[in-house]
Amino acid sequence: MEELVKVKEQIKKFVIECNDEKSLELLDLLATGKMLRSKLVLKIAGVTEESIKLCAIIEMIHAASLLHDDVIDEADTRRGKPSINALFDNKTSIMFGDVLYSKAFTELSQMDREVAYCVSNAVTLLSIGEMLDVNLTENFNTSYDKYIDMIYKKTASLIEASAKSAAILANLDKEKYALYGKNLGLAFQMVDDILDITQDSQTLGKPAMLDFVEGKVTIPYLLLHERIEDKQKLESLYKKELSSEESLWIKEQMISTKALEDSINQAKELGLEAIEAVKAEKNESLVQIMSAMINREF
């Protein structure tokens, strides 16, 4: 998408305005992802100067949160490339994240007031979500509500704000698009959590079932814990390097209790609800984005 090239150019312009060579050097080293939030904004608001700026702001905020995330997770790669904290150090990663955050907010303050409120409020939720994510790894979490609350704040809130603020720019029904964005975000995270179990290490680019080893009790594990007879055995494998027998046992239990199947169905239900919400808007691209996410090979 050439529109995404415009977004990248706008991000670069914003960083050039910071008048700091180190920040420009670091920007070039950042691995860019699929830019889902930008695609969403442009599919809803069209390509205008304002929508490109909004995309750049949201991508900078997202990148900043990932820079901080990599420090928290002690990650040395990001999207297959060395992370900034691995190339330099934690301090550089945190401070560059702060540069991107603060520049994004500076530009956001010049935009429509409702858009500025919508996005900045989501960043507060995002930060709280990050803290909840860390807190939930302390013990085996058995609360479905806590999991949903965490993934809503950590992942879905910014996607929801992207869709809603794009609708505000385009004078469309913001509540319909907010629901679409929220469900897209929740389904996106659930699918990610499911793929951690169903896909092999090579496809994932990281060890399979790493979430559970790192202390993340995601939706398939939550449903499994509810349904399994031997809850103690499952809990004893939490935050433990799993042997191939232990991994296999978890997978077999997930299949026999239908925990995996029902997790996939929940993600699909969220997707269908989102498609239904924007049905009257006749925006085929949004239907395609959501369908591609929920109808993939698990």
- Tens digit of each residue's pLDDT (9 = 90 or more) over 210-256: 899 999 999 999 999 999 999 999 999 999 999 989 999 999 999 99
Confidence of residue 35 (pLDDT cuts 50, 70, 90): very high
Q: Please report, rounded to a whole number, the percentage of residues in the chain having pLDDT higher than 90.
A: 80
When pLDDT is cut at 50, 70 and 90, the band that residue 203 belongs to is low
Q: From the CB of residue 176, how many other CB atoms can be counted at a distance below 10 Å?
A: 19
Tokens of residue 127, six digits: 């930060």
Residue 78 has pLDDT above 90, yes or no: no
d(CA 256, CA 265): 16
pLDDT tens digit sequence for 107-153 = 999 999 999 999 999 999 999 999 999 999 999 999 999 999 999 99
Q: What is the pLDDT, as a whole number, of residue 205?
A: 65
CB atoms within 10 A of CB 195: 16
Q: Count the alpha carbons within 13 Å of 22 in the hemisphere toward its beta carbon.
A: 8
Q: Considering the entire predicted model, what is its pTM?
A: 0.93
d(CA 15, CA 12): 5
| Predicted confidence (pLDDT) at residue 98 exceeds the cutoff of 90 | yes
